[in-house]
Chain A
Amino acid sequence: MRIYNKGDSMYELNEFQKDALRELGNLGSGKASSELSELINSKVNLEVPFVDLVPTKNIPDLVGGPKRLVVGTYSQITGDVMGTLVVIFPIKSALMLVDILKKKPIGTCEVLDVDDRNRIKDVGEILSSAYLETFASFLGIHATYEEPRLVSAFGESLPDFVLLNIKEDYALLLKTNFQIPSTEALEGNFVLLLTAKSIEKIIDAINQKL
């Protein structure tokens, strides 16, 4: 059970709320992976999403990030909820993804030129949109994202991007890893982090659903 401060009061998630959030994570990432599956015409495997209220100081340990270069998209979430949505691929996976999207043999793409970068951005946009729309529609709230921006970094820097829009001590973390089994080691992850203020709205929305 996690607790966070909101002004003078204390909040904690009960088991129903935690289950509902897990289901929310499943729905969002399920829809996003289904979109990705259609794009690349291949099965996408999802890991069980991690969903919890967490102290932001623990985000680097929870989000991690591979110890290699990654590329992906970063979007700020606005509306009834505020936060950050990041879709990240290790660089080798990003190159493979471009080859699949361009219907070229794996290994053709060696660097991400402007066209390739736009394709990665498009994938990021499609996944972000699917994830967020499912999330917002399930909760009956309004949530939009800014145009995703292409980012690249050493994987360990991923939490820094995730935390860019978060100033509070606690945040709601939804994280899902995915793999594409038909290709050699094409993998990536979605990370959605919402501000503490957003949590109140989400809890209210969940309570209305329960």
Chain B
Amino acid sequence: MPLDLKREIGNHRVIVLVIPNDTYTECMIEISKQLGNLYQKICYVSLNKLFTALLNSFRNNGVNVDRFFFVDAITKSALPGIEDTFNCKYVSSASALRELGIAINNELNKEIYRALVFDSLSTLQIYNKGEVVTEFIRYMIARIRLSDCVAILTCLESDTDTELIKNLGMFSDKVIHLEAHVILEDDTTIVTFEARGSPI
């Protein structure tokens, strides 16, 4: 059965989505498309794709970007002079956990968000030890639970054996492994996703 995020979220507040590496980009688009249809205001924390490219990719694939605000921790690493816009707050890099935490916290204080996407936990592990990232995520989850907001934390399938991702099973309400189905039709590739709820 194709991924139905509304059904998967149910009454849960903090969900870890384990995404197949091969279809990571398509998956993030699908998740964002569904969230954009479900919620009025979504905070998207981006650590993996430059803001302009992410926005264009979302727009080109029918994501309702007007409902999204982005906290971007990647673009400034390449373009240090870039300035915040009405729909994006730039953080210096994915290694700046404190700055990232403050930016997310400020945004959650400023607006009433119904969903927060963290894309992705895997990237945090490049620069920070598992226990440091775990503490950061625990803080973020506690902050999110104080608000009326659903959190979708993503990680790459290749990282599921790390301590962080294993630990997250304890702090999250549900862990969903996504399985991708790739269909080739003439010149078009269609990717669909299916949820396999399972413990990490």
A149–B78 CB distance below 8 A? yes
For residue A161, CB closer than 8 A to chain B, the reply is: yes
- The smallest beta-carbon distance between B63 and chain A, in angstroms, is 17
B49–A152 CB distance below 8 A? no
On whether A152 and B25 interact (CB within 8 A), knowing A111-B127, A157-B48, the answer reads no
Question: Of A67, A113, A151, which contacts B74 at CB under 8 A?
Answer: A151
Interface-located stretch among B35-43, B118-126, B144-152, B181-189: B118-126
Question: Of A91, A112, A150, which contacts B77 at CB under 8 A?
Answer: A150
Interface size on B, residues (CB 8 A): 27
B128–A154 CB distance below 8 A? no
A52 CA / B78 CA spacing, docked (Å): 25
Interface size on A, residues (CB 8 A): 22
Q: What 1/0 mask marks residues of chain B from 54 to 92 whose CB sits below 8 Å from any chain A CB? A: 000000000000000000001001111000000000000
B120-157 residues with Cβ-Cβ distance < 8 A to A are 120, 122-123, 125-129, 156
Query: Would you mind naming 15 contact pairs between A and B with Cβ atoms under 8 Å apart?
Result: A67-B21, A67-B22, A67-B24, A69-B126, A111-B125, A111-B129, A113-B127, A149-B78, A149-B80, A150-B77, A151-B78, A152-B123, A154-B24, A157-B50, A164-B50
Q: A112-B126, A152-B74, A154-B123 are in contact. List 11 more A-B contacts (CB 8 A).
A: A67-B21, A68-B156, A68-B158, A111-B126, A151-B77, A152-B77, A152-B93, A154-B48, A156-B24, A156-B25, A164-B78
Chain B positions within 8 Å of A, measured between CB atoms, are: 21-22, 24-25, 48-50, 52-53, 74, 77-80, 93-95, 120, 122-123, 125-129, 156, 158
